[in-house]
Amino acid sequence: MKIIMLGAPGAGKGTQAKQIADKYGIPHISTGDIFRANLKQGTELGKKAKEYMDQGLLVPDELTCDLVMDRISQEDCKNGFVLDGFPRTIPQAEALDTALAKIGQKMDYAIDVDVPDENIINRMSGRRACLNCGATYHIVSIPTKVEGVCDRCGNAVVLRDDDQPETVKKRLEVYHAQTQPLIDYYKKQDILKTVDGTQPMEKVFDAIVEILGA
């Protein structure tokens, strides 16, 4: 079962991807994790990626795809995997399809966790994080026991810069320009499934399980 998770930043696709991975016993693969692992291990691909990252440049699509293909060729992916954060653009999706076709494989599902922008801005501007221990909260759904104080370590919790409404709006603009076209791309392939991401997390997961089959 090979799954791609789609959805705007803050739609909750990462949380759903982890739950899918746990339920079906397949790896949850995020590009961030792949980059970190390759950099840490000093692999050839990691060294190539580092050259771009050190210059503050985006890692090219082809190299990103090579890193992903290297990861999904590992033994733990033989029964499938959940891709989270890749592909982000049409060229990445095409590179992935081409690479998979070479090994006689293709993606089974692209699941879009659909949440309107307005909900995402409200959701993310309610997030609070402890910069000391990394714990995260939400002023409505997961509030701290004492307002503004981390339950875990007692330090102050803050609204991070990337959760500020203006920043979130910019991230959503980038998403709509670059990643939204993927929805049409996978619709044409007849593998796109959409779930209502405004529901509680458990209900979103139930809807995904219904699509994938228990």
CATH of the domain at 73: 3.40.50.300
Please indicate, yes or no, if residue 164 is contained in any of the structural domains: no
**pLDDT at position 23 over 70:** yes
Rounded mean pLDDT of 152-161? Answer: 93
The residue-averaged pLDDT of 13-30 equals 94
Whether residue 203 is predicted with pLDDT greater than 70 in this model: the reply is yes
184 touches 18 (CB < 8 A): no
- Domain limits for position 29: 2-118+178-212
Residue with tokens 């950099």: 39
Question: Which residue among 50, 152, 171, 193 is the active-site one?
Answer: 171
Q: Stretch 199-213: mean pLDDT, rounded?
A: 94
Find the catalytic residue in 2, 71, 88, 128: 88
Q: Is 88 a catalytic residue?
A: yes
Cis peptide before 181 (omega within 30 of 0): no
Average pLDDT value for residue range 162-168:
88
Say which of 2, 71, 127, 128 is annotated catalytic: 127
Task: Tell whether 129 is covered by a domain.
Answer: no
Counted domains in the chain: 1
Residue 124 lies in a domain: no
Report helix angle 31-41 to 61-72, nearest 10: 80
% the chain with pLDDT above 90: 65
**Is 142 among the domain residues?**
no
* 173 belongs to a structural domain: no
- Domain-embedded: residue 172: no
Residue 151 domain-assigned (yes or no)? no
Which is the catalytic residue, given 13, 71, 123, 128? 13
Which two three-digit tokens encode residue 207?
Answer: 């809807």
| 171 has catalytic annotation | yes
Beta strand segments in 127-179, E: 127-130, 136-138, 157-158
Catalytic option among 160, 169, 170, 193: 160
Q: How does the average pLDDT of the chain come out, rounded?
A: 92
Distance CA 214, CA 208 (A): 10
pLDDT band per the 50, 70, 90 thresholds, residue 87: very high
Mean pLDDT of 83-111: 93
